[in-house]
Amino acid sequence: MIYSEQNNPIQQHRGSIEVICGSMFSGKTEELIRRLKRAQFARQKVEIFKPKIDTRYSDDEVVSHDHHAIPSTPVDASESILLMTTDVDVVGIDEAQFFDDELVTVCTRLANSGIRVIVAGLDMDFRGVPFGPMPALCAVAEDVYKVHAICVRCGALAYVSHRLVDSTKRVLLGETAEYEPICRDCYNKLKQ
């Protein structure tokens, strides 16, 4: 908080990047929606984006596995976000792992211009490999919040989204029929 000449507090806008990451079914999107709705409740101007390829629940909403939703704009490329974020306080981005690597530059530019950027995404793919721009986003973020699902096999904290279907495609949209959250120990036993 800074003070004006009349000694009245003036809110200073400081940009930042917050990353919410973890495996599937860990509550990433739920946490993103919670933070964005709080910003809206505080009368902040919020814009929300998701990759155009994510049509699992809705074409134009970010939707959690628990079916909580918030309106969003689907985009093909991260650069498009810059064209739609004039005069906003908060930018939310879901499924960040599906965006191109330019997303890191986009988020940094937004934060440098005084915008609070909240990004959610998978930190690793089904093979346990860091996914898309997420590692770089974690590196440049002021705050990284890792959420965990529970391993469906033993009850420990989940480590990875294990793919249940036979496919080597890195991007395969799915739900509980295609993926399950499992811990490191259970994942390593499956790889043997």
Residue with more model confidence, 168 or 192: 192
Cα gap 90→175, rounded to integer Å: 29
Q: How confident is the model at residue 69 (pLDDT cuts 50, 70, 90)?
A: confident
Q: Which residues are catalytic?
A: 95
pLDDT at position 176: 57
Q: Is the pLDDT of residue 145 over 70?
A: yes
What is the extent of the structural domain holding 23?
13-147
- pTM for the model stands at 0.86
Percent of the chain with pLDDT over 70: 81
Q: Please indicate, yes or no, if residue 28 is contained in any of the structural domains.
A: yes
Q: Please indicate, yes or no, if residue 166 is contained in any of the structural domains.
A: no
Q: Please indicate, yes or no, if residue 179 is contained in any of the structural domains.
A: no
pLDDT at position 14: 85
Q: What is the CATH number of the domain that holds 105?
A: 3.40.50.300
Stretch 94-98: mean pLDDT: 94
Ramachandran angles phi, psi of 63, nearest 5°: -130, 130
Number of independent structural domains in the chain: 1
Amino acid at 189: K
